[in-house]
Amino acid sequence: MFEQLKNHGGLLTVPAAPALVTIAQDQDYYDALLQSDLVIPDSGYMVLIWNMISKHRINKISGLEFINYFIDHIDAFKQDKFFLVNPSELDSQINRTFLSEKGLNISENDVYTAPFYKGNVNDKVLLEQIEQQKPKWVFINIGGGTQEKLGLFLKNNLSYKPAILCTGAALAFKTGRQVNMPTWVDYIYMGWLSRCISNPKVFVPRYLSGFKLFGMILVNKSNKVAPIENNS
C-alpha cells in the first residue's frame, strides 16, 4: 500500500461506520469513496458484519495502524516533502512538532488550518498552496465525511498526483490530542469504546448512529435496494 502511494500517489480514504451510514443521503461523500484509489476498512463494526454474511472475508486496517506503520518506517520518507491539513491552529502546531521530532522536515509553510466547511469543500486557497509547494504527501487530519470530499477536490484539481491521505484523527491519537489508543485496544476493535469513554457527549451519539450500518449492509447485500447512482 505504501509503495503504491509513494510511487504513484493517489487518494486514500479510511471510512468509519458513523460516516458510512450517510452515503444514501450524501452523494458527494459517496463519490469520494468511489473515486478513491485506496479505501481501507477502518470500521471494525463493518468488518464484523461483512465477515458474518460474506464468504469473502476482509481484515480490519485502521487509520491508527496506518499511521503506526508510517512512523515505524519513517526513515523511508524523510527525503519526501509533506503537507498537513489540520482542524485548528493548535493541531497544526502539535502535528508539525510531532512529525518534525520524528525526523520529517516540515516548515510553517507546510501546514494549513482548514476553515469550517459548510457543505462546499472547494478550497481554492488550499489548492493553490499545495500547487505551489507540490508536496509528495498530503495528510488531511480533519473530520470524517468532510476530509474525503476535500481529498477528492484536490485529486481532481491538482496538476500532479500526490498521495492524499484522509486519515482524520489517527495522527491525533499519537500526539495526545485524542484519547490514548493502545495498539491492543485498536486490534480488538474497541477503539470506539475508548473514544466514547473519553468524550461521551460527542462520541456516544456518533457511534450509536453507526449501528444503522448493519441494516444497510444486509439490504444492499441482498440486492433489495440498488446503490445510489454516481452522477459525477
Is residue 187 within 8 Å of 160, Cβ to Cβ? no
User: Is 102 among the domain residues?
Assistant: yes
* pTM, full prediction: 0.76
Q: What is the tens place of the pLDDT at every residue in 77-127?
A: 999 999 999 999 999 999 999 999 999 989 999 999 999 998 789 999 999
Q: Can you give the residue range of the structural domain that contains 103?
A: 2-221
pLDDT at 174 over 70: yes
Q: Which residue has the cell 481501507?
A: 40
Residue 227 placed within a domain: no
Total number of domains in the chain: 1
Tell whether 231 is covered by a domain: no
pLDDT in tens, 10-58: 999 988 766 777 787 889 988 999 999 998 877 666 677 666 777 777 7
Calpha distance 151→213 (Å, rounded): 24
Distance CA 105, CA 102 (A): 9
**pLDDT per residue as tens digits for the range 191-217:** 666 666 777 887 677 667 666 666 666
Q: What is the mean pLDDT of residues 139-154?
A: 93
List 111's β-bridge partners, or say none: 84
In this structure, is residue 179 part of a structural domain? yes
Number of Cβ within a 10 Å radius of residue 144: 23
Answer whether residue 208 is part of any domain.
yes
Look at residue 227 and tell me whether its pLDDT is greater than 70: no
Residue 67 has pLDDT above 90, yes or no: no
Q: Is residue 230 part of a domain?
A: no
Strands across the sheet containing 82-86: 38-39, 10-13, 163-166, 137-140, 82-86, 111-113
Q: Are 65 and 93 in contact (CB under 8 A)?
A: no
Helices marked H in the chain — which ranges? 2-8, 17-20, 27-34, 44-53, 63-72, 89-101, 124-133, 147-157, 170-175, 183-187, 191-198, 200-209, 212-221
Within a domain: 229: no
Task: Say if 53 falls within a structural domain.
Answer: yes
